[in-house]
Structure 1
Amino acid sequence: MSCAEVGRRVVKNESSIRSIKQMQAEIRQSLCAAPTMAKRVSVVRDKVLLKAEKALSLWIEDMSQKHVPVDGRTIREKALSLCEHFGPMTETPERKAFMASKGWLASFVNRCNLKNLRVTGETASADQESASTFPHEFRRLVGRKGYLPEQVYNCDETALFWKKMPSRTYIHKDARQAMGFKAFKDRLTLVLCGNAAGHMIKPGVIYRACTPRPLKNKSKESFPVFWQHNRKAWMTAILFLEWLQQCFIPEVKSYLRAKGLPFKALLLIDNAPGHPQAACAADENFEVVFLPPNSTPLLQPLDQGIMKCVKATYTRLTFQRIRDALDANPHLNVTQSWKSFNIADAIILIAEAVKAIKHSSVNACWRPLWRNVVNDFKGFPSADTELENIRIIAMEIGGEGFSDMAEGDLREQLEAHRGVLSNHELEEMTKSSTESEDDDAERLEQAEPPAWTLEKFADVFRQAQILRDKILEYDPSIERGLMVTRGITASLRPLQDLIDEAKKRQRQLPITMFLTDASSCMEASGSNCEDDQPSCSRSKRFP
């Protein structure tokens, strides 16, 4: 390459290039003698590009969580779009034009450690060839190792905007107009896991805060879901291994023990970044099998309708909660009821939604992989029935967007959970303001869960007695009233056991508490204390 060509490439004069070439021996000698730090070159990167790359990595992770395949061309196009978005709002002296070249893409992939990303070749899409060969390999593996349907599980994650309302409802419109009120955009990751026999284990929830205020002073072990957190509310490799050890293995052990089966299990998962190869070594009694890349829409059992059914049932329970609150309190309006709905209520409804899924529906989803274990296949699970139930409840609630709610509005609501993040949403996610909110929430974790006291027990049982008296007074059917009040008494039995234990502990006070005054007196005035207060040994002299 000539000096002139080098000069044009690096935008330098040809004479400068010639001078450098003539001095190359001195330059090389000086470089060899220089300290290590002098050999490093510090480059100040473009602020706009830094913001765009941070948002781009979030976008790629979100697409992976939603099982939407991306390739190099798509990433480069998104990078250009993000640079155009962040450019006008970032003050920089002079910016070079960003071309999103293949060289930049290779460097970006290395910086973000995107190992499974397809950056060259064909456009990423559902892999039909792998999807056609994998079921045969899977059935052969299951048959060779003697797995039963009760021992073969599938796990998958999905995003859930737990407080989102259909876009035409006036609740959604009011929320959009309220400054800083972004609860309808608050997202969590829902972790579902079920076996080929139709059994679903406790659902997992990944939220952006460790201990939100509504969950303050609550024991996480008593939650109806397995609770985890990170700032982005996404599954990570560390969280997945934690879920395996603390949720999946104990739940499966308990289920198989109840069925009289040995603890031997197979877990089928996709190739998401949050599913590490280290999961294979989590326990010697179960193995992990990864689905082929880009085959999730075709093969993943829980992706054959279960995810959509759970979200539809959750939406129905949310609407039902608003309707019941309005019926119970005529002075309450829909907006007030919706604003009072918090993450503690959401995890209860999530658990109820998962329990409502029929075993036959989960079993039917295994047909693409394991056809011979599906009993009486009548089609994949559908959310149509729940959508109709939601529409009926919405009409009972009434108001703009509720009374005239159509099936299309509800389908749009379900698809919104899988929607692609916009540039504005990515911008909000990159801001550090949410981190300070999370830190405030995490500080609440230090508080100790409140303990039951005899006064609290007394208050609960007093309120329960008032409720029983009201039922017997208002119900014209004595037999029905007695049946309901007996049910209340039976449901309070676990608390009655706790209060009996508390009373027993109070009666059995330790003898050391009677020695407290004596020991403190000894410390204060030495042996003179013996003249003022008799010791336990002297008390034996009394008849």
Structure 2
Amino acid sequence: MLMASACQSSHAGHLEMRKRSRKVLPLSEKMKVLDLIRKENKSYAEVAKLYSKNESSIREIVKKENEIRASFAVAPQTAEMTATVRNKCLVKMEKALSLWAKDMTRKQIPVDGNVLRRKALSLYEDFCKGSPQTIYSKPFTASKGWLHRFKKRFGLKNVKFTGEAAYAHEEGAATFPAALQKLIKEKGYHPKQVFNCDESELFWKKMPNRTFIHKNAKVAPGHKTWKERLTLVLCGNAAGHMIKPGVVYRSKNPRALQNKNKHYLPVFWQHEKKVCVTTIVFMEWFHQCFVPQVKKYLEEEGLEFNVLLIIENAPGHPESVCYENDNVGVVFLPPNTTSALQPLDQGVVRFVKATYTRLVLERIISAMNADPDVDIMQCWKSFTIADAIMFIKAAMDELKPEIVSACWKNLWSEVVDNCKGFPGIDGEVRKIIHAARRVGGEGFTDMLEEEVEEHIDGHQEGSMSEELEELVNSCTEEGEDDDDEESEAEPAMWTLPKFAEVFRIAQTLKDKIMEYDPWMERSIEVTRMITDGLQPLQQHFDELKRKRQKFPIRTFSQKGLAKKRPAPRQLILSASAPSTSS
């Protein structure tokens, strides 16, 4: 009994001794340990005896020297635990890698663990180049353990298409066109009744990477390139007709559009914080844009409103859309066949982006022609979302029906007549090169065709890191307000004085052209074009005058009545009439 008691007492004392010996040293004491070893050349054994520690504990402190010194700079001196310095480059890299993996999945590009690890190292190196040098405990090696934790954190259960899955995708791409054509024949769809919808991001203010505009914009204080992104929603039929394009932007009411009636823009306007086509955004587009636009088009063509809509199998495209309208049949492309079968992805999207890029450069040239002393950076900074919408409309107008129809070759070859291949953008690239050389300056005069094509294609391997960083910034900046968004304002409306001002400026312009141009035949043609172009406004003006005449101003001889009766208010255009300024 006594022996048992003595053993228990001895064991308790031993535990107490062990507990005391394992007391964690504060950071300040750990710094002293490091100084004794590094500066005073003390041995591990001497320092361990001084602090009543095991020699292995002192060696562990020295092993974590970088981490301890970094923590001591930011943590209280009495802190006992080493604070881990947050590796911002690693955090950014992982967010970018998850976006890249999802983008590769959307584009049906096979990705496995080895590819992910190599891409992680590449992105990490890119992000660390422009970051302040910080001491981290361990270098990043993209180990298998890190990959396992990364996939678990971001929910990447499977990012590899191999074996049976890859075969299924190939088989789907091979068999789907025949099944679709059988459905079209059974339902009796006309090519004008079969539509395809495609979505694509557009960095609407971005310049090719080597231009001085792009370089200056990257380092400009307060400039956030990620905000200059929108999503284009394009939709066209097998006969080559395109309906009004959709635009998804981050702001509901940006300053540049505050005086515009959103219902009368040349695009279908939608807003979503992250500029993504979510289920809500897609269903809004389906009901408010696709259905009314297609119904109107088919009425003009003398066809029944009975259509087939082909869309890709994307998260923002819910299966419930199949039941939204009895006159609209919906077919989803097989998984991972978009790049091979999606009609608008075979050339239409690239053509629109190429034309848009050329129009942006031509805008800069026009500004330089109007004012030789203009600052190109200021001209570029003044480029607004309203200008982008105007150029999207202009690019769509240059899209010929035969270009759209040719893109249906893989999916419905019977509807394509004498097609030699998908439409290219070689002609537009040459025009862009020519326009760039007229702009002049670094990155413009020596612009290469390869650079232009890379810029048009957007998220290519060479420029992926930069654009991923922009997307990461958009995800990590919390609580940020939209700088250019204010409260909703009433659209601007026409009045008689506004019409008078516009017509007066137009007349001055025509007079100057007739005065300055030595070639009279040309000046007559230009002034006639100006007059013809103003005809819609002239008709609007005449309508407004007729409404005004319904309220004649009466003259009263009695001063008292004239004093009491308020002056007739100026009649303005009703909100239901279209705004011609858009």
The interval holding the TM-score normalised by the smaller chain is: 0.7 to 0.9
Aligned residues: 459
Residue among 437, 449, 454 paired with 2:481: 437
The worse-fitting range, judged by mean Cα deviation, of 195-204 and 67-76 is 67-76
Quote how far apart the aligned CAs of 1:176 are.
Answer: 2.2
Question: In the alignment, what sits opposite 1:476?
Answer: 518
Question: In the alignment, what sits opposite 1:44?
Answer: none
Q: Contact conserved, 1:210 with 1:441, CA < 8 A, in 2?
A: no
Quote how far apart the aligned CAs of 1:453 are.
Answer: 2.1
Q: Contact conserved, 2:356 with 2:395, CA < 8 A, in 1?
A: yes
Question: In the alignment, what sits opposite 2:201?
Answer: 159
Residue among 531, 543, 565 paired with 1:501: 543
Q: Contact conserved, 2:107 with 2:336, CA < 8 A, in 1?
A: no
Whether 1:288 aligns to 2:330 is yes
Question: In the alignment, what sits opposite 2:470?
Answer: 425
SS of the counterpart of 1:205? strand
Q: Contact conserved, 1:65 with 1:157, CA < 8 A, in 2?
A: no
Residue among 198, 202, 210 paired with 1:168: 210
The one-letter code sitting in structure 2 at the alignment partner of 1:122 is T
Give the whole-Å Cα distance in 2 for the aligned partners of 1:431 and 1:370: 43
Question: In the alignment, what sits opposite 1:368?
Answer: 410
Quote how far apart the aligned CAs of 1:149 are.
Answer: 0.9
CA change 1:483–1:101 in 2 (3 A) is closer
SS of the counterpart of 2:330? strand
Quote how far apart the aligned CAs of 1:369 are.
Answer: 1.2
Give the whole-Å Cα distance in 2 for the aligned partners of 1:344 and 1:121: 42
Q: Deviations over 1:256-293 (max 9, x none)?
A: 11111111111111111111112112211111100010
Quote how far apart the aligned CAs of 1:182 are.
Answer: 3.2
The two structures have a TM-score, normalised by structure 2, of 0.69
CA change 1:125–1:352 in 2 (3 A) is farther
Quote how far apart the aligned CAs of 1:487 are.
Answer: 3.2
Question: In the alignment, what sits opposite 1:4?
Answer: none
The one-letter code sitting in structure 2 at the alignment partner of 1:180 is G
CA change 1:414–1:218 in 2 (3 A) is same
The worse-fitting range, judged by mean Cα deviation, of 458-467 and 267-276 is 458-467
Quote how far apart the aligned CAs of 1:399 are.
Answer: 1.7
Alpha carbon RMSD of aligned pairs, Å?
3.8
Whether 1:301 aligns to 2:343 is yes
Matches within 5 A, 1:88-99: 99=145
Question: In the alignment, what sits opposite 1:132?
Answer: 174
Residue among 530, 533, 540 paired with 1:488: 530
CA change 1:187–1:125 in 2 (3 A) is farther
Give the whole-Å Cα distance in 1 for the aligned partners of 2:160 and 2:522: 71
Give the whole-Å Cα distance in 1 for the aligned partners of 2:149 and 2:375: 57
Give the whole-Å Cα distance in 1 for the aligned partners of 2:473 and 2:153: 25
Matches within 5 A, 1:382-421: 382-417=424-459, 420=464
Which structure 1 segments of 5+ residues have no match?
A: 1-46, 522-543
SS of the counterpart of 1:385? helix
Matches within 5 A, 1:42-121: 62-63=103-104, 68=109, 99=145, 109=155, 118=158
Quote how far apart the aligned CAs of 1:429 are.
Answer: 1.9
Question: In the alignment, what sits opposite 1:260?
Answer: 302
The one-letter code sitting in structure 2 at the alignment partner of 1:211 is N
Quote how far apart the aligned CAs of 1:497 are.
Answer: 3.1
Question: In the alignment, what sits opposite 1:328?
Answer: 370
Quote how far apart the aligned CAs of 1:337 are.
Answer: 2.1
Quote how far apart the aligned CAs of 1:240 are.
Answer: 0.6
CA change 1:66–1:348 in 2 (3 A) is farther
Give the whole-Å Cα distance in 2 for the aligned partners of 1:68 and 1:229: 29
Q: Contact conserved, 1:190 with 1:203, CA < 8 A, in 2?
A: yes
Give the whole-Å Cα distance in 2 for the aligned partners of 1:228 and 1:173: 30
Quote how far apart the aligned CAs of 1:251 are.
Answer: 1.5
Quote how far apart the aligned CAs of 1:296 are.
Answer: 0.9
The one-letter code sitting in structure 1 at the alignment partner of 2:407 is C
Which structure 2 segments of 5+ residues have no match?
A: 1-85, 137-142, 565-582
Q: Contact conserved, 2:313 with 2:334, CA < 8 A, in 1?
A: yes
Whether 1:275 aligns to 2:317 is yes
* Identical-pair percentage: 52
- Larger Rg, first or second structure (1 or 2): 2
Question: In the alignment, what sits opposite 2:162?
Answer: 122
Residue among 190, 207, 231 paired with 2:232: 190
SS of the counterpart of 2:481? helix
Q: Contact conserved, 1:365 with 1:381, CA < 8 A, in 2?
A: yes
Residue among 421, 439, 442 paired with 1:379: 421
Q: Deviations over 1:422-477 (max 9, x none)?
A: 663343122235x5333x54433x21112222222221122122112212222334
Question: In the alignment, what sits opposite 1:355?
Answer: 397
Question: In the alignment, what sits opposite 1:149?
Answer: 191
Q: Contact conserved, 1:156 with 1:191, CA < 8 A, in 2?
A: yes
Give the whole-Å Cα distance in 1 for the aligned partners of 2:110 and 2:255: 36
Q: Contact conserved, 1:55 with 1:430, CA < 8 A, in 2?
A: no
Q: Contact conserved, 2:110 with 2:159, CA < 8 A, in 1?
A: no
CA change 1:142–1:451 in 2 (3 A) is same
Quote how far apart the aligned CAs of 1:489 are.
Answer: 2.8
Quote how far apart the aligned CAs of 1:236 are.
Answer: 0.7
The one-letter code sitting in structure 2 at the alignment partner of 1:306 is V
Give the whole-Å Cα distance in 2 for the aligned partners of 1:189 and 1:64: 18
The worse-fitting range, judged by mean Cα deviation, of 174-183 and 382-391 is 174-183
SS of the counterpart of 1:357? coil
Quote how far apart the aligned CAs of 1:101 are.
Answer: 7.7
SS of the counterpart of 1:403? coil
Give the whole-Å Cα distance in 2 for the aligned partners of 1:420 and 1:278: 34
The worse-fitting range, judged by mean Cα deviation, of 481-490 and 463-472 is 481-490
CA change 1:230–1:214 in 2 (3 A) is same
Question: In the alignment, what sits opposite 1:467?
Answer: 509
CA change 1:244–1:285 in 2 (3 A) is same
Quote how far apart the aligned CAs of 1:396 are.
Answer: 1.8
SS of the counterpart of 1:443? coil
Quote how far apart the aligned CAs of 1:326 are.
Answer: 1.0
Q: Contact conserved, 2:203 with 2:228, CA < 8 A, in 1?
A: yes
CA change 1:395–1:105 in 2 (3 A) is closer
Q: Deviations over 1:178-215 (max 9, x none)?
A: 22323477211111111111111111111111122211
Question: In the alignment, what sits opposite 1:28?
Answer: none
The two structures have a TM-score, normalised by structure 1, of 0.74
Question: In the alignment, what sits opposite 1:33?
Answer: none
Q: Contact conserved, 2:229 with 2:275, CA < 8 A, in 1?
A: yes
The worse-fitting range, judged by mean Cα deviation, of 325-334 and 266-275 is 325-334
SS of the counterpart of 2:419? coil
Question: In the alignment, what sits opposite 1:211?
Answer: 253
Q: Contact conserved, 1:66 with 1:158, CA < 8 A, in 2?
A: no
Question: In the alignment, what sits opposite 2:577?
Answer: none
CA change 1:184–1:386 in 2 (3 A) is farther
SS of the counterpart of 1:382? coil
Question: In the alignment, what sits opposite 2:40?
Answer: none
Residue among 310, 313, 316 paired with 2:358: 316
Q: Contact conserved, 1:165 with 1:171, CA < 8 A, in 2?
A: yes
Question: In the alignment, what sits opposite 1:457?
Answer: 499
